[in-house]
């Protein structure tokens, strides 16, 4: 099919040429001295076109010959630029493949090629990226001196320079330096590097993660708790992980309180949601009781116990165990709460144990006896709770002058591991 098309085009060209050049009536005479050359117009036009083509081709050939050194220099420059880019990509791939020595060497090769390439010589981002890759490899190789030299060289290029590229490079270097500092357990230096970040960058997820890690490393749970809330707000964790982390940090802050005033200060700094967490409330109440302020513990437990019927089984168990610790000195105002909880979830051993301790403290022996016996027999309850129930039963037996029964309860309490 292609041959047929070319044949048709050839016939068409022949017809056009015959039509246009078929008449050859004109004559062109060229005189040179005593010489005279007569040419047909068609031949003269063809010769003129051929001459123009030859002159144009010759000029192009001369220009190509004269520009050969320039084109050779551009080709070498382009080759060095491609080599630098390939070396940088190789360094990044080697770093991800955990071949850190090769990554450092490839990054240095990229820098050497950049220095000899005029097109890349002023490319700040290329230099900073190569230095960061080399520094990352040196960090993994535990060569801290060379790593810091690389980082300082990169910072000298971007510090105080205008432009989005310089700002991004500076932020990356600071975040990377903070991460390395935390890996070396230097939380103070990590926080100092994070403090140099602009406010917008400091609220990014990675910066918040590093700040959280540093605060936990310095055992500052309240600062860590504040950072963790920001991370949870920005969906830096899944919902269950966020709840578990916030709970553990709040509990850690409570455990660090060594007097009741300090504990009240920690409680005031907790978020409202944290103060509604049954595990946090229970730990605060137990800590207050351990510091000799059981009444304060019961005060914190009141709102949670008012809504205990709607709480989950684990939350109810934790609140019940906290009330057991805070039961000494409990008032009559607690009895309606306990009765309401028993009417809704009277089958749960922890709630039965809490009610038994509260009734025993109020010397309501009739109500307390059966519940104390259930508590002493509940294998799922902690050993101290069952031991305390048996001692309460022994005290009741002594009140009734039944020393033999009291001795039996004491023996059972001593036998609990």
Phi first, then psi, for residue 31 (nearest 5°) are: -105, 130
Beta-carbon-side half-sphere exposure of residue 297 (alpha carbons within 13 Å): 27
Note the pLDDT of residue 22.
Answer: 63
Output the DSSP codes for 188-248: HHHHHHHHTS-HHHHTSHHHHHHHHHHHHHTT-HHHHHHHHHHHHHTT-S-HHHHHHHHHH
Least confident of 16-25, 57-66, 140-149: 16-25
pLDDT tens readout for residues 128-139: 888 888 998 888
Alpha-carbon span 290 to 330, nearest angstrom: 15
Identify whether 243 is part of a domain: no
* CATH code for the domain of 398: 1.25.40
pLDDT tens readout for residues 217-247: 888 888 888 888 888 887 777 878 878 888 8
Identify whether 322 is part of a domain: no
Note the pLDDT of residue 305.
Answer: 86
pLDDT tens readout for residues 266-276: 888 888 888 88
Q: Convert 83-94 to b/e letters by CB count within 10 Å (16 or more is b).
A: bbbebbebbbeb
Q: Give Cα separations from 204 to 180, 207, 227 (angstroms).
A: 18, 5, 11
The residue written with tokens 């059966």 in the block is: 370
Query: Taking 80 as the threshold, does the pLDDT of residue 147 lie above it?
Result: yes
Note the pLDDT of residue 162.
Answer: 64
Contacts of 193 (CB under 8 A, 6+ apart): 174, 175, 177, 178, 181
Least confident of 14-18, 110-114, 167-171, 348-352: 14-18
- Looking at per-residue confidence, does 120 or 405 come out higher? 405
Find the helix or strand (DSSP H, E) in which 28 lies: strand 27-32
Q: Are 356 and 392 in contact (CB under 8 A)?
A: yes
pLDDT band at 20 (very low <50, low <70, confident <90, very high): low
Identify whether 184 is part of a domain: no
Identify whether 388 is part of a domain: yes
pLDDT band at 116 (very low <50, low <70, confident <90, very high): confident
Note the pLDDT of residue 160.
Answer: 64
To the nearest 10 degrees (0 to 180), the angle between helices 68-96 and 100-115 is 160
Identify whether 353 is part of a domain: yes
Q: Give Cα separations from 243 to 30, 177, 246 (angstroms).
A: 103, 29, 5
Identify whether 74 is part of a domain: no
Phi first, then psi, for residue 359 (nearest 5°) are: -65, -40
Range of the domain at 379: 327-417
Structure tokens at 295: 């009444």
Note the pLDDT of residue 112.
Answer: 86
Query: Taking 70 as the threshold, does the pLDDT of residue 161 lie above it?
Result: no
Identify whether 342 is part of a domain: yes
Identify whether 182 is part of a domain: no
Note the pLDDT of residue 386.
Answer: 86
Number of domains the chain contains: 1
């Amino acid at each position: 099919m292609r041959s047929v098309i070319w044949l048709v085009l050839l016939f068409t060209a022949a017809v056009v040429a015959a039509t246009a050049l078929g008449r050859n009536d004109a004559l062109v005479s060229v005189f040179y001295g005593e010489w005279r050359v007569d040419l047909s117009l068609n031949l003269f036009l063809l010769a003129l076109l051929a001459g123009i083509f030859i002159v144009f081709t010759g000029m192009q050939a001369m220009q190509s010959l004269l520009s050969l050194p320039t084109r050779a220099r551009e080709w070498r420059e382009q080759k060095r630029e491609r080599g630098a880019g390939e070396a940088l990509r190789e360094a990044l791939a080697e770093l991800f493949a955990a071949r850190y020595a090769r990554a450092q060497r490839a990054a240095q090769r990229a820098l050497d090629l950049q220095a000899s390439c005029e097109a890349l010589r002023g490319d700040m981002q290329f230099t900073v990226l190569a230095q960061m890759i080399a520094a990352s490899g040196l960090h993994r190789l535990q060569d801290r001196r060379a790593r810091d030299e690389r980082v300082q060289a990169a910072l000298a290029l971007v510090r105080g320079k205008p432009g989005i590229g310089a700002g991004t490079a500076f932020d990356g270097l600071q975040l990377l330096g903070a991460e390395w500092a935390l890996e070396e357990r230097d939380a103070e230096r990590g926080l100092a590097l994070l403090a140099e970040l602009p406010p917008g960058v400091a609220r990014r997820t990675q910066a918040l993660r590093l700040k959280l890690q540093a605060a936990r490393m310095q055992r500052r749970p309240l600062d860590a708790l504040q950072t963790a809330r920001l991370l949870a707000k920005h969906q830096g964790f899944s919902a269950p992980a966020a709840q578990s982390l916030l709970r553990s940090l709040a509990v850690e802050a409570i455990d660090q309180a060594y007097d009741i005033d300090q504990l009240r200060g920690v409680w005031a700094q907790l978020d409202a949601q944290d103060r509604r967490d049954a595990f946090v409330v229970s730990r605060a109440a137990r800590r207050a009781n351990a510091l000799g302020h059981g009444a304060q513990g019961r005060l914190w437990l009141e709102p949670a116990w008012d809504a205990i019927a709607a709480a989950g089984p684990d939350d109810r168990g934790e609140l019940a165990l906290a009330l057991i610790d805070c039961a000494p000195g409990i008032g009559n105002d607690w009895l309606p709460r306990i009765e309401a909880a028993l009417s809704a979830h009277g089958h749960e051993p922890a709630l039965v144990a809490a009610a038994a301790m509260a009734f025993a403290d109020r010397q309501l022996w009739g109500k307390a006896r059966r519940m104390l016996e259930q508590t002493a027999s509940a294998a799922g309850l902690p050993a101290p709770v069952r031991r305390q129930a048996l001692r309460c039963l022994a005290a009741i037996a002594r009140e009734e002058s039944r020393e033999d029964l009291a001795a039996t309860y004491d023996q059972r309490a001593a036998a609990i591991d």
